[in-house]
Structure 1
Amino acid sequence: MPFSANWNVGKAAVLGAGTMGSRIAAHLANCGIPTCLLDLAPTQLTPEEERRKLALNSPQVRNRIARQGLEAALKSRPAAFFAEEISDLITVGNFEDHLSWVSDADWIIEAVAEDLEIKRALWQRVAPRRNPGAVASTNSSGLSVAEIAAGLPEEFRRHWLGTHFFNPPRYLHLLELIPGPDTLAEVLAAVSRFADLRLGKGVVVAKDTPNFIANRIGVFCTSLALRLVQQEGLTVEETDRLLNAVAGWPRSALFGTLDLVGLDIFAASSRTVYDRAPHDERRELFRIPEIITNMMARGLLGNKSGSGFYKRPPKSSGGEPLVLDLETFEYRPAKEGAFASLESASHAADTAMRMQLVLQSDDRASRFLWKFLSQTFLYAARRIPEIAHGVVDVDRAMRWGYGWELGPFELWDAVGVDETACRMESDGNGIPEHVAAMLQAGHRHFYDSPTGSLRYFDFSQAVYSPASFSPGVLLLRGGPQTPLVLRRNEGASLRDLGDGVLGVEFHSKMNVLGVDAVEMVEAGLAKVSSNFDALVIGNQSRGNQGAHFSAGANLLHLLTLILAGHWDELDRLV
């Protein structure tokens, strides 16, 4: 029976109620999908259960682990559920008593411990109970999808794939789909479509290699940065400020993200690549860094243990987080780092300009950033086509999964591919052959859009090819087509989005609202009353503007109007 392109999920089953499993179940429930959440049946009573004189065969005890997972999801911050009552769509159970529930599921997602044999043993129990045609997937963050399903029936393997959600699933946009060698193309396409339209995910298809795309690049960058921090003598807070303010990483940057993820999880991801990618030219970098080993030995695992690179006081205290001194291993108050290069770049309009300004300097920040970026660029380039089909997949994975403002190849474009390639060669670093061939052919960028539609350089064909987008996607720039600008001033633009819809985009610094933005909204409303049906206000600018829909009114402009007594103009603005 052919697999339907319009595959829908009436019911889902999530196997494993840990952090990822419970949050995946929560996101499915958010999307209106009834879900059963199963985990192990306990083998021992807790003191509380003994006090209540419960037995191991009591339902409250049998479902305790899955119930605790659901309760943790309900308490999690940021919130895993849109609203608390949505959790009613989740039914908890255990593998011993309720595994037959998977026969009612259109999609079975496994999210148990990241251990190949544990996953294989569970799927061998699930496969005979699965309804033929149901999609089965693993949420493994880096184990071989093919190895997990090896030996299972062919019909199962045709409907089998990896579905790597990122934590927290409700908030992080990325979903990596990893087909196995027998996965039907129509199954991959249907899951991609469902994840896009129903779950609101940005889908990237990855190859079945250790850690897939985002974690392969992300763990490399984390391991590299940890070593460079110690080489350049940077502090925890200096490093996080630098990567956030200059490289466009999220506010948690390096050390805050490690605390969020958990140092033990990072160590396990590093070990996966080290053990399973023996031919990786940077394999030694995936040895668990000594600082991580030392912290794990002291029980400093990050947020889950209460202390990591940051030690956060109780919320009720109102105190500031302390930071770990990397030399003394003592916690101390954060210090303001002083980098001349960073200060000179702080007023630059966007990430590209800030990076260029910092890289032109010669202080610790500049040296760290150059070593980090150059090695990241080279490593990412050498992973194509090993882990991904092209540069777009790598960049989207890092933006959507790790919260980077720009992916590695977008960053490389931003600082200049030709110029940095020369500097890398002068440092003694060879340029990957396909990048060298691109430059020798006169192509200076990984991306271009000569007609407004985004293209990327396809290494396999040695030509620029159109970037693919989900059907119905419209971007203000860098998309399948660029909406026509009807009118523009310094603070805003008016675009024809098609289908009778106009769009106003702000592009002042931090998208602050001044007279020019108000004029553009008024112009749009006037056109709607005559030739259009609707007006949408939305922004897509990167860099200084992209972090804000709008920072509000331009207060300096307001003050100027007040001091000048221009009350009519002020009234119009407010």
Structure 2
Amino acid sequence: MKRSIRKVAVLGSGVMGSRIACHFAGIGVQVLLLDMVPKGSEESTKPAERNKLVNDALQAAVKSNPSPVFTKDVLKRITTGNFDDNMKDIASCDWIIEVVVERLDIKQLIYEKVERFRKPGTLVTSNTSGIPIHMMAEGRSDDFRKNFCGSHFFNPPRYLRLLEIIPTPHTDPAVVDFLMHYGDLYLGKTTVLCKDTPAFIANRIGVFSIMSVFHIMDKLGLTIDEIEALTGPVMGRPKSATFRTGDLVGIDTLVKVAKGVADNCPNDEAKEVFTIPAWLDTVVKNNWLGDKTGQGFFKKIKSAEGKEILTLNLQTMEYGARIKPKFASIEAAKPVEDLRQRIKMLNAAPDKAGEFYRMFHYALFSYISHRIPEISDEIYRLDDAMKAGFGWEIGAFETWDTLGVAKTVDAMKSAGYKVAPWVEEMLAAGATGFYKVEAGKRLYYDVASKSYKALPGGEAFIILNNHADKLVWKNSACRLYDIGDGVAGFEWSSKMNSIGGEVLEGLNKAITTAEEKFKGLVIANDGPNFSAGANVGMIFMLAIEQEYDELDMAIRMFQNSMMRVRYSSIPVVTAPHGLCLGGGCEMNLHADKICAAAETYIGLVELGVGLIPGGGGTKEFALRAGDELHTDEPETVTLKDRFFSIATAKVATSAQESFDMGIMRKGHDEVVMNIGRRIAEAKKSVIALYDEGYSMPVQRNDVKVMGRLGLGAMLAGINGMWRGNYATDHDALVARKLAYVMCGGDLTSQSLVNEQYLLDLEREAFLSLCGEKKTLERIQSVLKSGRPVRN
């Protein structure tokens, strides 16, 4: 049957249910969110009282940080109700998602009610993480069981990209195919097909990893602070590392999953790893369960310096000041940008950190090899699950490839670790790794057929590095690839993907090459972020040394490069994701089209360091504001809106919000829900623009600016902010310069100017601010601590 999802029912409005409802509303689906009638309100006839539980839960979700919604207006798509009065309304829903308490008897009672009202063929799924999926469908009709399976979202659903799909023996394969596709394309998820085994895939491997760390820590005599340093971003893991992750998810939840695996997986060769250490038992008995109880492995207190975070000493069970660990190998590895190279360095280190990494990796590699085919027939599903559910930058099998499979297997055997027989068979047959790339396609080793197969997704998922065999040009920071169908792909790699001289050189070379040999150019990268902006370290150095001529040339080069993006003879499409700030935002503002991942945090943030956008961003906002002066649409972003957007260094909290800020253009730019699809969508857009008969735009000489009329109003607003102590003296100085540029300078009346005139004003203002002591103090603070000082 052909399915479309117009309306979803979410049964249960707790932390997960309310946030799943918000995510569906965010993609444009109508949502019915139901929960119980609160105790004491059973006899009431007032909807407000009978729906208090669900309404309070939804409001709590919306107020939570990070926000579960892309924009607040999506909430109008959510209707609330209760199980007693509104279960009948599920008849109009296309998908029913159960998210009630983790008790089989309660879930079965809910399904009994669902079966009375759902229309035949309606999807029914459970978000359970701990109950076997097949048990929940027992006693239900054939149609129910055919359309029933597990759909395990990870918290928070908007941000964690994993969606595990767990069918039962009765689930129609077409239902599984639909959910795998829908989750990927519309929900923006990495959909992973799982077997109905305890903890499925991500929690099985993730909790093993955490428990393994606990046991290795005890063996090596390491502290919580040391483990956090070892298992965080330095090894490609989230900032929450190990113990902070425990506090976030709930230590009792972690223990419950570990015990569940130990109890329900009697044949797990490493089940002793899931044994709860004595100190962890004590933590749970003390009800120190993490954030939800106010303390866990860490505890926040108020001190003379403000808020302080204390660390639990597992020997004394007392909290104390955090101690910054010192490992020579960590310090040596931190400056290395390439994660795979960094992991190699860490694993080979001769100190205690190196010993930890070897023990951790050997245990992990042994464990994942034995989970095939128990929890999955395909290795890539394990890697996908850990990257999307636990925030690992590279998967476990990918890490094993990085360290060398054969070499690591020999080391594991010497250290007393066993690998599954299929790994040795793979090596004996001449295969050297779990993955390889051929003709731009990534292949994985298929254990069942003992051969390599292409990863599913094909053209929908473009990874630029997979086209390394079609490298067109490179310098030390940039690479230009032929990504097929006459389209070139440009990427760069630097710290936080900042934009300096080499990147600008590469960008200009990429555009020139694309004009000569390709239909168009995609600008994107596969790093954690698109770009944190211009290289402020270079700006600071030139300003401190008062090399103003060189600084002027650097600003001109940046402006000219952004104008090159706009005025090239081929279409240039960007595919941003993650942080896209300052100069990164300016690059997108000048592109022919933006195909942004939904989770793109974009904005012009230069005011924070005492500067104005100097790479064409101020000019572009002034130009767009001028174009909007003649419109009378209520949604128009005015000059004042754009001014305050820059003056407050506002960053869109989603790609959708950037439309309201006037960064992305409604009806023109595109939001791509699945971050993995954004480059492929950008490539399609390049081809479409080319096929439509793309011609190079002409530089504008008719930009409408307000002159003194607009400047007077803005200066009055700045003065009000300053007098109200909302802005410092320096904030006001920078804002006045911004206003001057955006209004076109001290013109006596509304006028038409050209783009270069505005760029010159922008560059002069930027250059003058680089000579301000307080601007340099702000930049220095960012370089030292990552945050600007408020001066």
Aligned to 1:555: 537
User: What is residue 477 of structure 1 aligned with on the other side?
Assistant: 465
SS in 2 for 1:319: strand
Indicate how the Cα distance of structure 1 residues 498 and 23 shifts in structure 2: closer, same or farther if over 3 A, else same. same
Query: Shift of the alpha carbon at 1:548?
Result: 6.0
Please tell me whether the aligned partners of residues 74 and 81 of structure 1 are also in contact (alpha carbons under 8 angstroms).
Answer: yes
Verify the 8 A CA contact 1:109 1:139 in the aligned structure 2. Answer: yes
**8 Å contact 2:362–2:417 — kept in the other structure?**
no
Give the stretch that moved more between structures: 213-222 or 96-105.
96-105
Cα deviations by residue, 1:167-205 (Å, 9 ceiling, x for unpaired): 100011111111111111111111222111211111111
Q: Decide which moves more: 364-373 or 548-557.
A: 548-557
Q: 2:382 aligns with which of 372, 377, 394?
A: 394
Deviates more, 1:227-236 or 1:246-255: 227-236
* Pick aligned residue for 1:40 from 28, 32, 36: 36
Unpaired stretches in structure 2, ≥5 consecutive residues: 559-791
**Cα offset for 1:501?**
4.5
**CA-CA distance at 1:401 after TM superposition:** 0.6
Give the partner amino acid of 2:6: G
| C-alpha separation in 2, matches of 1:14 and 1:410 | 36
Instruction: Report deviation, 1:550.
Output: 4.1
Give the counterpart of 1:345 among 333, 338, 344: 333
Cα–Cα, structure 1 residues 408 and 13, in superposed 2: closer, same or farther, change >3 Å? same
Partner Cα separation in structure 2 for residue 532 and residue 281 of structure 1: 54
Cα deviation per residue 1:119-141 (whole Å; 9 max; x = unaligned)? 22211221221111111100011
Pairwise CA RMSD of aligned residues? 2.5
Indicate whether 1:462 and 2:444 are aligned: no
Tell me which amino acid in the other structure corresponds to 2:474: R
TM-score with structure 2 setting the length: 0.67
3-state SS, counterpart of residue 445 of structure 1: coil
Structure 2 counterpart SS, 1:311: strand
Please give the residue correspondences for 1:285-324 in structure 2 after superposition, counting only pairs within 5 Å.
Answer: 285-313=273-301, 318-324=306-312
Contact 1:323 1:332 in 2 (8 A): yes
Distance 1:331 1:8, change over 3 A: same
CA gap 1:90/1:382 in 2 versus in 1, 3 angstroms: same
Q: Deviations over 1:240-271 (max 9, x none)?
A: 11111442111101011111111122122223
* Structure 2 Cα separation of the partners of residues 241 and 559 of structure 1: 31
- Match of 2:139, SS state, is coil
Aligned residue type for 1:354: R
CA contact (8 A) 1:112 1:119 kept: yes
> Does the 8 A contact of 2:147 with 2:171 survive in 1?
yes
Query: Residues 96 and 290 of structure 1: is their aligned pair in 2 closer, same or farther, counting only changes over 3 Å?
Result: farther
For residue 502 of structure 1, report the CA deviation from its aligned partner. Answer: 3.8
Q: Does 1:512 align with 2:512?
A: no
Q: Aligned to 2:307, what secondary structure does the other structure show? A: coil
Question: What does residue range 137-216 of structure 1 map to in structure 2 within 5 Å?
Answer: 137-216=125-204
Q: Is the 8 A contact 2:497 2:529 kept in 1?
A: no
Indicate the residue corresponding to 1:49 in structure 2.
Answer: none
- Alpha-carbon distance in 1 for matches of 2:227, 2:359: 13
Deviation at 1:276, TM superposition (A): 2.1
Q: Residues 446 and 554 from structure 1, CA distance in 2 versus in 1: closer, same or farther, beyond 3 angstroms?
A: farther
Match of 1:48 in 2: none
Distance 1:428 1:524 in 2: 51
After superposition, residues 395-434 of structure 1 pair within 5 angstroms as 395-434=383-422
C-alpha distance in 2 between matches for 1:131 and 1:289: 49
- Out of 538, 549, 557, the position equivalent to 1:573 is 557
CA distance in 2, matches of 1:460, 1:305: 47
- Aligned-residue offset at 1:10: 0.8
Instruction: Read off the aligned partner of 2:22 and give its amino acid letter.
Output: A
Contact 2:233–2:241 (8 Å) recurs in 1? no
SS at match of 1:486: strand
Q: Give the match for residue 739 of structure 2.
A: none
1:320-349 CA-partner distances (Å, limit 9, x unpaired):
322212222222221110112222323334
Q: Superposition pairs for residues 53-452 of structure 1, below 5 Å?
A: 56-313=44-301, 318-452=306-440
Contact 1:29 1:90 (C-alpha < 8 Å) held by counterparts = yes
Paired amino acid for 2:279:
I
Q: Is the 8 A contact 2:370 2:419 kept in 1?
A: no
* Cα distance in 2, alignment partners of residues 488 and 369 from structure 1: 33
Q: Give how far 1:400 is off.
A: 0.6
Deviations, residues 354-404 of structure 1 (Å, cap 9, x unaligned) = 232233234332222221111111111100111012111000100011000
User: Does the CA contact (< 8 Å) of 1:483 and 1:496 recur in 2?
Assistant: no
Q: Normalization by structure 1: what TM-score? A: 0.91
Tell me the secondary structure at the aligned position of residue 132 of structure 1. Answer: coil
Paired with 1:530 and 1:456, the residues of 2 have a C-alpha distance of 36
The match for 1:493 among 475, 479, 483 is: 479
Q: Which moved more, 1:172-181 or 1:263-272?
A: 263-272
Structure 2 counterpart of 1:9: 5
State the distance in 2 between where 1:349 and 1:410 align: 17
Conserved 8 A contact 2:490-2:507: yes
Partner Cα separation in structure 2 for residue 35 and residue 393 of structure 1: 30
Q: 1:230 to 1:61 in 2, by over 3 A?
A: farther
CA distance in 2, matches of 1:245, 1:168: 20
Asked whether the equivalents of residues 447 and 457 of structure 1 are also in contact (C-alpha less than 8 Å), the reply is: yes
Amino acid at match of 1:107: W
How far apart, in 2, do the equivalents of 1:452 and 1:560 lie? Answer: 41
Deviations along 1:547-570, one digit per CA (max 9) or x if unpaired, are 563453163487369677646742
User: What code does the residue aligned with 2:37 have?
Assistant: A
Q: Within 1, Cα distance between the matches of 2:255 and 2:76?
A: 36
Q: Secondary structure at the match of 1:100?
A: helix
3-state DSSP of counterpart to 1:161: strand
Which of the two has higher C-alpha Rg? Answer: 2
Cα separation, 1, equivalents of 2:268 and 2:78:
42
SS of the equivalent of 1:454 reads strand
| 8 Å contact kept, 1:159–1:187 | yes
CA distance, structure 2, for counterparts of residue 58 and residue 110 of structure 1 = 25
8 Å Cα contact 2:224-2:313 kept in structure 1: yes
Offset at 1:99?
1.1
Residue matched to 1:27: 23
Please, which runs of 5 or more residues in structure 1 have no aligned partner?
Answer: 46-53
CA distance in 2, matches of 1:58, 1:314: 43
Q: For 2:534, give the aligned amino acid.
A: G
Say if 1:422 and 1:551 are closer, same or farther in 2 by CA, change over 3 A: farther
Residue 415 of structure 2 aligns to which amino acid in structure 1?
A: D
CA distance in 1, matches of 2:131, 2:268: 16
The AA in structure 2 aligned to 1:552 is A
Whole-angstrom distance in 2 between the partners of 1:514 and 1:285: 48
1:503 counterpart = 2:485: no
Instruction: Provide, for residues 145-183 of structure 1, a one-character-per-residue CA deviation record: whole Å limited to 9, x for no partner.
Output: 111111211111111111111110001111111111111
Using the alignment, how far apart are the partners of 2:417 and 2:487 within structure 1? 50
Identity of aligned residues (%): 37
Is the 1:311–1:323 contact (alpha carbons within 8 Å) kept by the matching residues of 2?
yes
Where 2:397 maps in the other structure, the secondary structure is: helix
Give the length in aligned residue pairs.
556
**Distance of aligned partners of 1:272 and 1:61 in 2 relative to their CA distance in 1, 3 Å threshold:** farther
